[in-house]
Every structure is written in C-alpha cells, then in structure tokens.
Amino acid sequence: MFDGKTILITGGTGSFGQKFLRATLERYKPARIIIFSRDEMKQWNLEQELAGCPGFKSIRFFLGDVRDRERLRVALRGVDYVVHAAAIKIVPMAEYNPFECIKTNVVGAMNVIDTAVEAGVKRVVALSTDKACNPINLYGASKLCSDKAFVAGNAYGGGPGTRFAVVRYGNVMGSRGSVIPLFRKLAASGELPITDDRMTRFMITLDQGVDMVFHAFENMVGGEIYVKKIPSMKVLDIAKVVAPEAKIKIIGIRPGEKLHEQMIAREDAYHTFEYEGHYKILPALHKWSSDPGRIGDGKRCEEGFCYSSDSNSEWMKPQELRAWLDQTVQEAR
C-alpha cells in the first residue's frame, strides 16, 4: 500500500521512527518518506548513517515540531500516510515539566489531526502506551487525551476523508529511555536500582511494534485502538538477565509510576474484540463498537476482561530475553 506513496513520520529520529523507516524501505518502494523531527543533530546523524543505502534517495529530512501547526501544514503537503510517533515520554520528566508534556503530547496531537484533515492525508496511525490506560501520571494522561482525540478525529474528516487509528503497546525493549539500556549502562557499577521487586511490565520488540503499525494501516476503518498480545516480565528478572552479577537495590516507586501496567481496562471490555495476535478497542462514539466493518472476525471480550501485565497469560522467560540481548549485540557489530 506504500508503493509510490508519500509517508511522514513525526518523531522520525526516535527509536521507533528509525526502525519504521528502515522496515518501510525494505518492504515497499515509497515515492517519499519524510522524517519530521525537531533535533537537527539527530537528523544529521541519521542522514549520514543511511547515505547510500537502498531507497535513500526517497528520504526527506524536515525540521519541525508538532507544536508548530504552520510547519506541519507545510510538511504534510502531498502526504498520503502519517505515523505519529513524536512524544515526551519519560515519566519523571513529564511530571516535573507538565506544560511541556501537554504542549507536545496533547496540543501536538491536535495539530497533527487538524493539519492531516486539511491536507487530505489518507490514513494516520498514532502511537500510544500502556500508561494511557487508567493513567496515574501526566505522560499517561496526556497520551489518553491524544488517543481520545485521534479516535474522535475520524468524525472530522467525514465520508471517505482522513482516517485515524491508534496502536497501543508496552515497554519497547531497547528503546531510548527504557529500562534495558539503563540497566546495561549501570551494570558496570555493580548495582542496579529497582523501584519494587513485584513490578511487572509488558515487553515488545521494535520489530513487533512496527509490524503492528503496518497491520493497523492495512486493517483500519477508523477509530480503532490496536493492542498487540505480548508477554510480561518482572523488572527484577530483567535486571538479573542484563546484569546477573550486579547487586539489586530497592529504591521505591518513582513519582507517577505504577506497580503493574494495563493496556485494556475493565471499563473497555464491552468495546474490546479479540483476534489471533491482538485486541482491538472500538470507540463507543457513534455506535462504532457495533460496526461489522470494524469488528470483522473479532470475538467480543467477556465482561470484566482486563489486560494487565501482572495477570497476563503469557510471560517472557529469562532465556528468551537473553537470546534477544545476544542478538542485539551481534547486530550492533
């Protein structure tokens, strides 16, 4: 579906944006793929890294911020598809800088929606987080607002206009700012900080996240929140795999941090449908959760269903994480 089309990625120099860029160039032949981000040094480094690779001539680097609606208007001219990955996502940073978080995660989402509709973009997929489900921190609350805006945005386009969907997933293994790079960095010190030895998190690779976004683009009618089925793991077990010789220091839960994460709350169960490898939350707006075109072959979840990292039926084994870590080391070489 991307052959000969123009794709724009907000936050395109981030971990997900770079992985999605490479995967798109491997699988498709887009006319243009635009990296939209605000850090010129990251763009410069990425451009140097990709120079000469297959499909490089189709890449465009566009400096801009999702807070700047006028810049988005310029960037979205002639764009067919958008992946919205730009966000302020580090929980403590958002807690201490709430205005900045809201400007990027909420106002930025609104800007993407409005300018995408104006530009006649065909489809937009926005990235979300498990922290948007029953949020207790500002990052999660801001992403919940973003999710709600993207779902409701489907009513703005009207008829065959711009379609919006959301992909929600948990801790991305190895992404910048996540726990695995932190533990790797601190391993040499001989001590790893753990907020609580009971803490659990959902685990997903960047490749799995990219595949879910591709699926959303292909499958979406508009208004869906896609939730991939992924395993859970105790943060304590992650630490033991990354640095088995390191001493564990329990430091207590940080501001805005949950003991366990949810991706689907009990309140969403009635509007949630299960598929082979994922769930789909359909909006209650306009009775879209009863729309056969959006439901497809999904099975409605039972009343009271909750998709939580501590009650998950699938768990990642330590040896599986070790194999993934070994693979990333080999790929880095």
At 272, which CATH number? 3.40.50.720
Decide: 91 and 131 in contact? Cβ < 8 Å: yes
User: pLDDT grade, residue 37 (50/70/90)?
Assistant: very high
Instruction: Provide mean pLDDT across the span 173-185.
Output: 84
**Assigned domain for 21 exists:** yes
**Assigned domain for 285 exists:** yes
CA angle 227, 230, 232 (to 5 degrees): 125
**Assigned domain for 316 exists:** no
pLDDT digits (tens, 9 = 90+) for 309-332: 999 999 999 999 999 988 887 776
pLDDT digits (tens, 9 = 90+) for 114-163: 999 999 999 999 999 999 999 999 999 999 999 999 999 998 766 678 99
Complete DSSP assignment for 250-282: E--PPTT--SS-EEE-GGGGGGEEE-SSEEEEP
pLDDT digits (tens, 9 = 90+) for 51-83: 988 899 999 999 999 999 999 999 999 999 999
Domain range enclosing 58: 6-170+204-229+263-309
Among the residues of 85-133, which ranges form H helices?
Answer: 91-96, 98-102, 108-119
Quote the CA–CA distance of 255 and 65 in Å, as a whole number: 27
Q: Among 131, 143, 228, 280, which one carries the catalytic annotation?
A: 131
Residue 299 burial (CB count, 10 A): 10
Question: Is residue 122 flagged as an active site residue?
Answer: no
**Assigned domain for 270 exists:** yes
**Assigned domain for 39 exists:** yes
Quote the CA–CA distance of 322 and 327 in Å, as a whole number: 9
Instruction: Provide mean pLDDT across the span 302-310.
Output: 96
Instruction: Say how many domains are in the chain.
Output: 1
**Assigned domain for 164 exists:** yes
**Assigned domain for 208 exists:** yes
**Assigned domain for 193 exists:** no
What sign does the CA torsion over 210, 114, 128, 243 have?
positive
Q: Is the pTM of this model over 0.85?
A: yes
